[in-house]
């Protein structure tokens, strides 16, 4: 994919400031809001059903995250999703921990079945749980056996493409090597840094950022998702480069948001490491 296209996706986010309704988990909700602001979007959070349906109506996109489920928020996600579908707004699902418990797996499956999703984003274990092929999951972390590697990259891309075709949406699998695909095309994204796994919520934040990119570029969800994944990974690289001898994951979290805030189109075009697979 031409990195100029990725830069265009970012510029559109900055130009339109998409308002995204995020029904996300309480562990990461503040960071998700700040990540959206940093990338150029605008966040709003509502998880009471009556309020959430109304809020969905004034937003451009919807991000659903199942990281801390309860019966009330599950009902709210379905109601908000139905409203977003009625309005033709893009919907992103982050199936956090799918495969780790029956409730998470069943909730993710029901949302996938019911809603016209634009993007599903998760680690490979979560994505396999949705596809019905996961053997086990380590809580919200990917099972090491599910990691995308150079050796299984082609097979992983084929799997993600097939699932994207089945679901009728873009599927983004994030890890050491990210794979983003629709039914026809798949791309590997090699941006990012291992320290991103040392703070809570980088995946949740990326899901909200991706929702903003797709909301700002609704006719090109694949390109928008690739741009979001590459840009977030590049921000992680910049954050890591700023760390000094006394810095730890707390400093990295701040540097990550700073890097996302300062990311511009030229930097993304020059730094994105994306290849077709």
List the pLDDT tens digit at each of the 277 positions of the chain.
899 999 999 999 999 999 999 999 999 999 999 999 999 999 999 999 999 999 999 999 999 999 999 999 999 999 999 999 999 999 999 999 999 999 999 999 999 999 999 999 999 999 999 998 544 454 555 566 778 999 999 999 999 999 999 999 999 999 999 999 999 999 999 999 999 999 999 999 999 999 999 999 999 999 999 999 999 999 999 999 999 999 999 999 999 999 999 999 999 999 999 999 9
pLDDT score, position 136:
45
Torsion sign across C-alpha atoms 6, 7, 11, 17? positive
Q: Which residues, listed in sequence order, are joined to residue 121 by a DSSP beta bridge?
A: 172
Q: Where are the domains of the chain?
A: 3-276
Residue 58 burial (C-beta neighbours within 10 Å; 0-12, 13-18, 19+): exposed
Contact 180, 9 (CB under 8 A): no
Class (C level, CATH) for 3-276: alpha beta
SS3 call for 141 = strand
Locus of tokens 């983004």:
172
Contact 6, 77 (CB under 8 A): no
* Residue 88 φ/ψ region, left for φ over 0, alpha for ψ in the -120 to 50 degree band, beta for the rest: left
The H or E element spanning position 129 is helix 124-131
């Amino acid at each position: 994919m031409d990195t100029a296209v990725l830069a265009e996706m970012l510029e559109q986010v900055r130009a339109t400031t998409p308002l995204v309704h995020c029904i996300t988990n309480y562990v990461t909700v503040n960071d998700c809001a700040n990540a959206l602001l940093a990338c150029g979007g605008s966040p709003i959070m509502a998880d009471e059903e009556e309020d959430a349906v109304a809020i969905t109506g004034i937003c451009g996109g919807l991000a659903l995250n199942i990281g801390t489920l309860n019966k009330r928020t599950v009902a709210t996600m379905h109601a908000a999703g139905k409203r977003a579908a009625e309005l033709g707004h893009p919907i992103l699902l982050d199936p956090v921990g799918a495969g780790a418990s029956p409730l998470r797996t069943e909730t993710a499956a029901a949302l996938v079945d019911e809603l016209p999703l634009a993007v599903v984003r998760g680690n490979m274990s979560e994505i396999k749980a949705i596809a019905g092929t996961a053997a086990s999951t380590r809580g919200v972390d990917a099972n090491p056996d599910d990691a995308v590697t150079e050796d299984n990259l082609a097979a992983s891309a084929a799997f993600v493409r097939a699932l994207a075709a089945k679901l009728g949406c873009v599927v983004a699998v994030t890890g050491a090597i990210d794979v983003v695909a629709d039914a026809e095309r798949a791309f590997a994204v090699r941006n990012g840094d291992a320290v991103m796994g040392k703070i809570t919520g980088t995946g949740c934040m990326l899901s909200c950022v991706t929702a903003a990119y797709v909301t700002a570029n609704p006719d090109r969800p694949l390109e928008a998702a690739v741009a979001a994944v590459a840009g977030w990974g590049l921000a992680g690289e910049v954050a890591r480069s700023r760390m000094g001898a006394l810095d730890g994951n707390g400093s990295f979290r701040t540097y990550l948001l700073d890097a996302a805030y300062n990311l511009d189109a030229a930097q993304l075009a020059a730094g994105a490491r994306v290849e077709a697979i």
